[in-house]
Structure 1
Amino acid sequence: MDKLDVIIIGAGASGLMCAAMAAYRGRNVLVLDHANKPGKKILMSGGGRCNFTNMDAAPKHFLSDNPHFCISALRRYTPQDFVDLVDRHGLDYVEKAPGQLFCEHSAKDLLAILMTELEWSGAQVKLNTRILNVEYQDDITVVTTNQGVFSCESLVIATGGLSIPTMGATGFGYEIAKQVGHDVLPTRASLVPITVQPERKEQLAALSGIACDVRASANEAQFEEPMLFTHRGVSGPAILQITNFWQPGEALQIHIAPDLSLEALNQARDQQPKKTLENYLANELPKRLVDLIKAEFPWLDQKFAQVSNEQIEQLFQYLSHFDVAPNGTEGYRTAEVTLGGVNTKEVSSKTFESQKQKGLYFIGEVLDVTGWLGGYNFQWAWSSGFAAGQYV
């Protein structure tokens, strides 16, 4: 039986960060993962360029049943701290939207930095390793795998959530938590595309591939960002963001062209009476979307001067309450994160150690902490991994 100080299960963002930090403290660290290579989610995220942090990351950008839990770790390891790390390695990165940092070339560059940090720190990684059993014996934890039996003082669960099972995601972390009596809060797919009712899907099929600015609102949350029409329903930043707050069966409001107010429409009529509504909308929205609206309102080809107040009001109501007829979501298959997870009220916000089992730690997505879209979830991985790495 190989004896180690720390075993980390999960070679993702939080696990790799924790491994390096613990090993730099002189701890003997082994990372285990059932995948054939580390950092798979890092490599596929952001279209292969990984939105690795958000400079604006703050507790307000995270959802949890225990909203104060994330404050300590985010303060101790900030986005600037991670930028300083990648700067030391000379990573080329770009800011694609305010605060959102992406690798300029490839997420492979970021993963290479993390693996270099592991090499420098002396942490080891063992892949293609299935965990068969975890047993707690006094102050020692024994981990039985298909690659041998290992013991450690500190066992870190960095296995992520259920999102994107094709990348190897499983509920293993939740099972480990439940075995020692942890409460696992209900999980669901989030930051995920929305599917629509069959009849509406047929109507919107012609719009697949086009995007427009919208304001998506649900449960007092709202996001003003682009929405993308897909062959299954709707996606894009506005939709992914709102799924952190919306669930199937609840009200979802989509306001197309949110800058196009009722006042703006009336003003345009006064200033451009000879222009048709169709031509006016074509300057604000994609042509295929205008065609869909015209099927609903055939009088769009009339000049503004011929359009009544009532018709303008009808058009505005249509735009401001655009009915996508949501049916559900695409589920874990395409979700970027899993909302819910291990109840953080039973985990130390300082050390990330379980309050149910000495020597057991939880970090990253397996915990009930979920960030907005835009690099926040990776920052949570770095912050929680760093914080736990100081204590394991």
Structure 2
Amino acid sequence: MEYDAVIVGGGACGLMCAAQAGLLGKRTLLLEKNDKVGAKILISGGGRCNYTNLHTDIHNFVSENPNFLHAVFSQWTVDDTIQFFQSFGNIIGQEKTLGQLFPQSNKAKDIVGVFTKLMYETQQDIWLQAEVKTIAQDGDAYTLTVLHEGATRHIRSDKVVIASGGLPIAKLGASDFALRTARKFDLRVVDTAPALVPLTITGKDADWYASLAGNAVFSRVANKQISFEENILFTHWGLSGPAILQISSYWKAGEVFTINLLPHFDVQDLIKQERAAGGRRTVSQLLQAHFTRKMVDALGKFLPIDLKIASLSKADAKLIWDTIHHFEVKPAGDKGYDKAEVMRGGVATDELQAKTLESKKHKGLYFGGEAVDVTGWLGGYNFQWAWASGYAIAQDL
């Protein structure tokens, strides 16, 4: 069988690429290592799939060159994503918090179903449990060595799309295949790291965090680059929750970031108001209006929570403000790729044509989705990049 392209990886980018190629009248072969396509789609959002974000902009992405995204996002917008799933799967999006869009059915399998139906209708081929061992360039074409159904097969194609994802999550078939392929073809790879990942705390403060396991606090988490306002979650091993996952994409080992535990209030103002009313309540009673009793008791490690407000010195008041609004955290590390939602880094954008994502050095070789140095925030942004990059590549096949 002659194919216009071979697509390696049946995740979000690969599926969109194959579906869009089919709509253009092209024939592709999609190679997927798992026994089904869309494994990460199916578990995303707790099985509900936050498939895009209404507020998508290049500023919602971590990359050496976020401006690179303009050329792809101008071809495929959030509206295009919404219309695509509505037209081909009758999927109506419902907005949750912060622009996050989920299917009304709350079923990630409905998203995957759109692609499998389209690929069937446009006669795209899918090989499941097909592991690509090597890719070699042979003149103007590429030869892929594939282990499939117990046999080693050799597939030749003028165009190959690497959409095999990043390093998270190994049990879903994640591997470094895209990175190894890029390096083999002498393409620069930006250093990779887990992103959107929980952070660990060790040492003398570990027990303090563990004692608060299960407590969620709406906070503003910030470093020198950026800040996020969402919940943080204390765990037995450190910190998680949306705000922590977000800041993790901007965090490097050894760095300190701060948490404002009460971002919409000023503790100094609360103390002044209490003093004006006589100051008879204790610091503990003041804080219990905003935190759980367990959280207040834990803050007693740092604060004079049993003192009456009227008795606070200036130093006491400053200590309370610093602790509540500028709580410093120095994580020991992160929970690794198996707990990360995405990978930071990847194939450098300056190695790829901005409009088509084709390698500048190797005609007919494309990289899309998580394999590229484009990492979105939590909340549907990475899916929007995957759909858009798959679409952009398909236009050039």
TM-score range, shorter chain: over 0.9
- Aligned partner of 2:385 among 377, 380, 388: 380
Superposed displacement of residue 103, structure 1: 2.8
- More off after superposition, 6-15 vs 268-277: 268-277
Q: Pairwise CA RMSD of aligned residues?
A: 1.5
Q: Counterpart amino acid of 1:278?
A: S
Match of 1:98? 98
How do 1:131-210 residues align onto structure 2 when only pairs under 5 Å count?
A: 131-147=132-148, 148-210=153-215
Offset of residue 191 of structure 1 = 0.8
Partner of 2:305: 300
Query: Which deviates the most, 187-196 or 317-326?
Result: 317-326
Whole-angstrom CA distance in 2 between matches of 1:262 and 1:203 = 22
Separation of aligned partners in 2, 1:150 and 1:205:
53
How much does 1:267 deviate?
2.8
User: Alpha carbons of 1:181 and 1:293: their partners in 2 closer, same or farther (altered >3 Å)?
Assistant: same
Residues of 2 paired with 1:217 and 1:66: CA distance?
A: 22
Equivalent residue, structure 2, for 1:44: 43
Amino acid at match of 1:72: A
Give how far 1:174 is off: 0.9
CA contact (8 A) 1:200 1:325 kept: no
Structure 1: distance between partners of 2:265 and 2:318: 12
For the 8 Å contact 2:220–2:230, the answer to whether it is kept is yes
**Shift in Å, 1:271:** 4.2
* In 2, Cα distance between equivalents of 1:167 and 1:138: 34
How much does 1:277 deviate? 2.1
Q: How far apart in 2 are the matches of 1:378 and 1:143?
A: 27
Instruction: State whether residues 3 and 150 of structure 1, in contact with CA within 8 Å, keep that contact through their aligned partners in structure 2.
Output: no
How many percent of aligned residue pairs carry the same amino acid?
Answer: 37
| Number of the residue aligned with 1:117 | 118
SS in 2 for 1:310: helix
CA distance in 1, matches of 2:188, 2:323: 44
In structure 2, what residue type is equivalent to 1:94? Q
Structure 1 CA distance for aligned equivalents of residues 20 and 83 of structure 2? 15
Please state whether the residue corresponding to 1:301 is helix, strand or coil. coil
**In structure 1, what is the equivalent of residue 365 of structure 2?**
360
1:278 corresponding residue in structure 2: 284
- Whether the 8 Å CA contact 2:256–2:328 is kept in 1: the answer is no
1:216 and 2:215 equivalent? Answer: no
- CA distance in 2 between counterparts of 1:271 and 1:36 reads 68
Q: Distance in 1 between matches of 2:276 and 2:15?
A: 60
Choose 67-76 or 117-126, whichever is displaced more.
117-126
For the residues of structure 2 that align with 1:198 and 1:305, how far apart are their CA atoms?
Answer: 36
Specify the SS of the correspondent of 1:170.
coil
After superposition, the C-alpha distances for 1:201-227 in whole angstroms (9 at most, x for unaligned) are 212212111110111112321112110
For 1:166 and 1:331, the matched residues in 2 are separated by 13
Distance 1:264 1:151 in 2: 70
Partner of 1:312: 317
- 1:329-381 C-alpha deviation (Å, 9 max, x unpaired): 11111111111111110101111111111111001110111111111110000
If the length of structure 1 is used for normalisation, what is the TM-score?
Answer: 0.95
Asked if the contact 2:349/2:372 (under 8 Å) is kept, the reply is yes
Structure 1 residue aligned with 2:9: 10
Query: Is the alpha carbon distance of 1:321 and 1:340 closer, same or farther for their aligned partners in structure 2, counting shifts above 3 Å?
Result: same
Task: Report the Cα distance in structure 2 between the residues aligned to 1:108 and 1:282, rounded to whole angstroms.
Answer: 43
Number of residues paired by the alignment? 390
Asked whether the 8 Å contact 1:50–1:107 carries over to 2, the reply is yes
Which one-letter code corresponds to 2:15 in the other structure?
L
Q: Could you tell me which runs of 5 or more consecutive residues in structure 1 were left unpaired when the two chains were aligned.
A: none
Within 1, Cα distance between the matches of 2:202 and 2:66? 34
User: Could you state the TM-score of these two structures normalised by the residue count of structure 2?
Assistant: 0.94
AA partner of residue 109 (structure 2): K
Structure 1 distance, partners of 2:318, 2:379, is: 35
Change (3 A) 1:57 1:304: same
**Aligned equivalents of 2:251, 2:187: Cα separation in 1:** 26
90-99 vs 176-185, which moves further: 90-99
Counterparts of 1:293 and 1:132 in 2: how far apart (Å)? 54
Q: Aligned ranges for residues 206-355 of structure 1 at < 5 Å?
A: 206-272=211-277, 273-297=279-303, 299-355=304-360
Q: Deviations over 1:221-244 (max 9, x none)?
A: 111211011111001111111111
Q: Distance in 2 between matches of 1:128 and 1:314?
A: 59
| 1:133 Cα offset (Å) | 2.3
Q: Distance in 2 between matches of 1:122 and 1:350?
A: 26
Q: Distance in 2 between matches of 1:49 and 1:264?
A: 42
